[in-house]
Structure 1
Amino acid sequence: MTLVTAGVVVLDCAEPEKLAAFYKELLVAEETDTNANRVEIRGTDGIRMAFRRDVSATPPSWPRPENSFQVHLDFHVEDLDEAERRIIGLGGRALETKDPSGPFEERGYSDPAGHSFTLRYAAATAPKQD
């Protein structure tokens, strides 16, 4: 029997309804639970996220060192440019979009409440041909 199972990623923010709307659109998700202080969503791929009201929440300041990374999310995409346009259109902000050296192409963004996340290029894998 498993002692601990994966739960849900929870982001604190001043306006959970607005932040949930951003991630619902980005992840093509549906709302699964809502109360006065928390909104939870589930993406089509099964990812679960919740947004908890904290009126004194302070967004991370990454890439500046003060109040830097508290947590960040990685999302895999097949088209970085298309995903970037969608993020900006939904109210997100580019933080670091230069191509880094190394084997992975990735770009940094923040959601409308200031939480940072990374888009990582993930090439589509073709199904096996028999």
Structure 2
Amino acid sequence: MELSAITLDCADPSALADFYHRATGLPLHPRNHEEFAGVQREGGLLLGFQRVTDYVPPRWPGQEQPQQLHLDFDVDDLAEAEARLLALGAARPAYQPDPERFLVLTDPAGHPFCLVPRRPRAEAG
């Protein structure tokens, strides 16, 4: 068994696919349409976004609308990545559980995701 896709609910799949395309540089999926869009590394995992009627975004860090999942992204420069993603439409919630280890942002649809400073290979693991 091999994981081939992760799909997030949202109100506007095309807009969210565009955000992640600009954020990660991953190409847009060739079959994006009004109800479903995504980004995908060639031959790799698809990050998809599906339209949900009356979508209600997660409320970080509260549990009234739980996050249900979040994505982690390794970055070389935390401050640079944060600034670039904020300019693309991400938001930085006030609550940061461990800012020395990672930074929580939310995408334009409200899904929380973490930026994690990339560790040198010798430290990873």
TM-score by length of structure 1 reads: 0.82
Gap runs ≥5 in structure 2:
none
**Percent identity at matched positions?**
32
| CA RMSD, 1 decimal | 2.3
Aligned residues: 121
- Per-residue Cα deviation, 1:30-75 (whole angstroms, up to 9, x for no partner): 1122123101211479442111111211111111231122111111
Larger strand fraction of residues = 1
Tell me how far apart the structure 1 counterparts of residues 3 and 91 of structure 2 sit (CA, whole Å): 29
Taking the TM superposition and a 5 Å limit, the aligned residue runs for 1:1-130 are: 4-32=1-29, 33-43=31-41, 46-95=44-93, 98=96, 100=98, 105-125=101-121
> Structure 2 vs 1, CA of residues 96 and 106 (structure 1 numbering), >3 Å: closer, same or farther?
farther
Which structure's CA Rg is the greater one? 1
Superposed displacement of residue 110, structure 1: 0.3
Give the alignment's TM-score, normalised by structure 2.
Answer: 0.84
Structure 1 runs, 4 residues or longer, greater than 3 Å off: 43-47, 96-99
